[in-house]
Amino acid sequence: MRAVFLMAGVCVALVACAASPLPENPVLLKARQAENMATQAQSRGQYERAAEHWNQAVLRYDALADPVGFGRAVVGLSRALVDSGRRTEALANLNVSLSRAEELPIDIQIELLARRGGIHLQTPETLDKAGSDLRQADALCGNRCRFSAALHGLQARLAIVQGRMAEARLHIQSGVLALASQESGQGVERANLGRLFAVVQMKEGQYDLARQSAEEALMLDRSLGLPDRIVMDLELLASIAKLQKQPAQASQFEEQARRAKAALLQLQGRAQP
């Protein structure tokens, strides 16, 4: 009988041990903590702080040889650096990461190429590099991937900058179709495509339609709580109003944009220049 009780005790102990989770790697816990803090700071518009946390996450995931976590953190770091105005640093970071592209998942490679292409888009001298990055990303993406709409948006921006409005329209339409085939939660890209469409319409002299598209983008960005995009929408509406010979409305939009920008800078802990 005593042997039975002893055996039962051993079984209970084994079950308890099996039910107890193994302690997680402390470096992994710190990497996840840094990633969570970075995400929170990014959502609040505190881009400098987000960049610090993302950098910690990059180093820790790299030490763990975790390509998924590393790639995710690199993407976040590049976004935070760009949002804080540190584009040169973001570009250097992306170049280093893409030199290790074979270690990274395909979707991370696509997003890194898209982000580097987006930075190149902002400088006239590097538009060819932007086109090259976007073509590579598009080839990796194929007919359909979760970045299809974003890639079409970037290609539309490139076409607009180079004065190819018909091509820009095609990319915007393709982006909208890509959104229709994806799951919900694509409001950011929907607003972005609407804003780009407004720019195309404005450049083609369709001011009333451009204003309608820009107002729809503004409404969507406000519902999503995206202060930086709201500033862009208001500035675009001001430009359209000027072309419509409506100086009073243009001034109103400019004042709204100024206030929105001041609020954004205050949120980021930066003074307005």
List per-residue pLDDT tens for the chain, 273 residues long: 444 444 444 444 444 444 455 467 888 999 999 999 999 998 887 889 999 999 999 999 999 999 999 999 999 999 999 988 899 999 999 999 999 888 888 999 999 999 999 999 999 999 999 999 999 999 999 877 889 999 999 999 999 999 999 999 999 999 999 998 776 557 899 999 999 999 999 999 999 999 999 999 999 999 998 888 999 999 999 999 999 999 999 999 999 999 999 988 877 665 444
- Whether the Cβ atoms of residue 104 and residue 67 lie closer than 8 Å to each other: yes
pLDDT of residue 184: 57
Ranges of CATH 1.25.40.10 domains, the chain = 29-104
Angle separating helix axes 106-120 and 127-141, nearest 10 degrees? 160
Whole-angstrom Cα distance, residue 154 to residue 171?
9
Residues sharing a CB contact under 8 Å with residue 46, sequence separation 6 or more, in sequence order: 267, 268, 269
pTM of the model: 0.83
Q: Which two tokens stand for residue 74?
A: 């690199």
pLDDT of residue 269: 65
Q: Within 10 A of 25 (CB to CB), how many other CB atoms are there?
A: 12
- Phi and psi (nearest 5°) for 217? -65, -40
- Phi and psi (nearest 5°) for 117? -60, -40
Angle separating helix axes 207-224 and 187-203, nearest 10 degrees? 160
Rg (CA), the chain: 24
Residues sharing a CB contact under 8 Å with residue 110, sequence separation 6 or more, in sequence order: 137, 140, 141, 145, 147, 151
Residue carrying the six token digits 């975790």: 66
- Whether the Cβ atoms of residue 156 and residue 138 lie closer than 8 Å to each other: no
Residues sharing a CB contact under 8 Å with residue 165, sequence separation 6 or more, in sequence order: 159, 200, 203, 204
CATH class for the region spanning 29-104 = mainly alpha
Q: Which two tokens stand for residue 210?
A: 């451009």
Whole-angstrom Cα distance, residue 119 to residue 30?
30
pLDDT of residue 6: 43
Residue carrying the six token digits 């590579």: 136
pLDDT of residue 45: 79
Angle separating helix axes 227-243 and 207-224, nearest 10 degrees? 160
